[in-house]
A and B are shown apart, each in its own frame.
Chain A
Amino acid sequence: KAGVTQTPRYLIKTRGQQVTLSCSPISGHRSVSWYQQTPGQGLQFLFEYFSETQRNKGNFPGRFSGRQFSNSRSEMNVSTLELGDSALYLCASSLGTGLTDTQYFGPGTRLTVL
């Protein structure tokens, strides 16, 4: 089975721009979660989508948004980029049907904001 894929792998943007990141989950997985990883804050939860609905949300400003499509693929959008948004953005997929589900991570998208 193919793993979680994320595109693009690297992005360089300037302040004020917006960016869209994409995630394709493992086949059969219906839940996609997004995380931001920075050296100072570690891995922080952004949001989780299941069956095209946002089921959980972390403590990030409204500039961070996402969506999920009927094929479970998900996109994450960050508008009005700030320097502090530079981070590794990881998505993880799981079956999403139980609280004990294991999440499997994609390779991540490295975003640099100049």
Chain B
Amino acid sequence: QKEVEQNSGPLSVPEGAIASLNCTYSDRGSQSFFWYRQYSGKSPELIMSIYSNGDKEDGRFTAQLNKASQYVSLLIRDSQPSDSATYLCACSGGSNYKLTFGKGTLLTVNP
């Protein structure tokens, strides 16, 4: 059974639009949730972390967490071509310190 699931995409949005990325997780003990961005050939780069239910905003990015539904999302407002990358959802906590990743959603922002 997959522990963290993401729509693999590709998700294609026009420049200036809102991109919505979704993730579900199976471990109810998960305490920390992260969104990483990974450009092709590069390593993952942290965008957002969220630990409690609700929304967390940072610039053009908003992370949303619903622990009852075991659901995490990332909204990117005013999407730019430079946002084109694979977005990885990850969870940790529960019984150990490891990060469990989804397989990522490929986002393409078209100029």
Contacts and interface: CB of A to CB of B under 8 A. Distances in A.
Interface residues on A, range: 20 to 34
Interface of A: 31, 33, 35, 42-45, 48, 50, 55-56, 58, 88, 90, 92, 94, 96, 99-108
Contact of A96 (B34, B45, B49, B97): B97
B93 A103 contact: no
A34 B92 CA distance: 15
Given A56-B96, A105-B45, A100 B101 contact: no
A106 B44 CA distance: 8
28 contacts: A31-B97, A33-B98, A33-B99, A35-B99, A42-B101, A42-B102, A43-B44, A43-B99, A45-B98, A48-B96, A50-B97, A90-B44, A92-B99, A94-B97, A99-B31, A99-B32, A99-B92, A99-B93, A100-B31, A100-B49, A100-B51, A101-B92, A102-B34, A102-B49, A104-B46, A105-B44, A106-B43, A108-B43
A56 B97 contact: yes
B100 interface: yes
B19 to A, nearest CB: 20
Candidate in A44, A58, A92, A103 with the most chain B CB atoms within 10 angstroms = A103
9 closest A-B pairs (Cβ-Cβ)? Answer: A42-B103, A43-B101, A99-B93, A105-B43, A100-B32, A45-B98, A56-B96, A108-B43, A56-B98
A105 to B, nearest CB: 4
A101 B34 contact: no
Interface string B30-74: 011010100000111110010100000000000000000000000
